[in-house]
């Protein structure tokens, strides 16, 4: 199954870092258990076991707190022309994506980030990440209002209903604004004259217009 999947997709596999390092060491020494031979064969599709041991060891030294490691595997096949014959060739590639302090699935944020990364490099969008137009999102579904929501909706309707028509109360508003503006201008003129001491005659009519 892994052979087939890695031909089509980039596959991310999570390993416990110390267990993987221990397993690769044992495989190099020829002390591998029968049930683990398939994993050893799978790893050697991409790199020799000695190179795996070095890669994993360097990653562990970079982050001693890391407990889990995600490795990306990809082994696409191509038809190649070799003289008159057509041969099937494979170009395996693999790299360490990231290390984590705990399993990726234990953190929804890290798990979703890994999902998006795999979808991006595989050029595929899962339904869980981008639902089809036929699937309604939770916030798009028509759900009955709760009693509290219904009360708020009714209060909003009553508030909007009780707002009086602007035509009924705004007829005298322009005249009121004009009178208020005139009074403010006269008060300002009087204040400036007093500040400048232009006159000491208390009988001066400050409401008179000056050119």
For residues 45 and 206, what is the distance between their CA atoms, to the nearest angstrom? 101
What element of type H or E holds 126?
none
- Tell me the pLDDT tens digit for each residue of 133-148: 666 666 556 677 788 8
99: tokens are: 């290390």
Q: How confident is the model at residue 185 (pLDDT cuts 50, 70, 90)?
A: low
Predicted TM-score (pTM) above 0.95? no
DSSP characters over 13-62: EEEEHHHHHHHHHHHHTT---GGGHHHHHHHHTTS-HHHHHHHHHHHHHH
pLDDT, mean over the chain: 78
Q: Which stretches does DSSP call E strand in the chain?
A: 11-16, 68-74, 77-82, 85-90, 93-100
200: tokens are: 């000491």
The answer to whether 97 touches 117, Cβ cutoff 8 Å, is yes
> Which range has the worst mean pLDDT, 21-35, 80-94, 147-161?
80-94
For residues 140 and 135, what is the distance between their CA atoms, to the nearest angstrom? 10
Identify the pLDDT of residue 124. Answer: 83
Identify the pLDDT of residue 138. Answer: 63
**Residue scoring higher pLDDT (15 or 145):** 15
**What average pLDDT does range 143-160 have in this prediction?**
84
73: tokens are: 């595997």
């Amino acid at each position: 199954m892994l052979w087939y999947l890695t031909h089509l997709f980039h596959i991310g596999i999570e390993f416990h870092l110390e267990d993987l390092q221990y397993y690769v060491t044992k495989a190099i020494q020829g002390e591998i258990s029968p049930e683990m031979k398939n994993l050893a064969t799978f790893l050697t599709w991409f790199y020799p076991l000695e190179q795996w041991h070095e890669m994993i060891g360097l990653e562990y030294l970079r982050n001693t707190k890391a407990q889990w490691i995600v490795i990306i595997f990809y082994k696409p096949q191509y038809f190649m022309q070799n003289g008159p014959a057509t041969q099937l060739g494979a170009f395996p590639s693999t790299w360490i994506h990231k290390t984590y302090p705990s399993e990726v699935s234990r953190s929804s944020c890290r798990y979703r980030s890994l999902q998006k990364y795999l979808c991006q490099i595989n050029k595929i969008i899962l339904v869980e990440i981008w639902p089809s137009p036929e699937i309604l999102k939770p916030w798009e579904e028509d759900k009955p209002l709760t009693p509290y929501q219904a009360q708020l909706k009714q209060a909003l309707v009553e508030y909007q209903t009780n707002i009086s028509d602007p035509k009924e109360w705004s007829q005298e508003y322009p005249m009121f604004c004009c009178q208020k503006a005139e009074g403010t201008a006269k008060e300002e003129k009087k204040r400036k004259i007093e500040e400048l001491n232009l006159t000491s005659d208390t009988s001066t009519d400050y409401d008179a217009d000056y050119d």
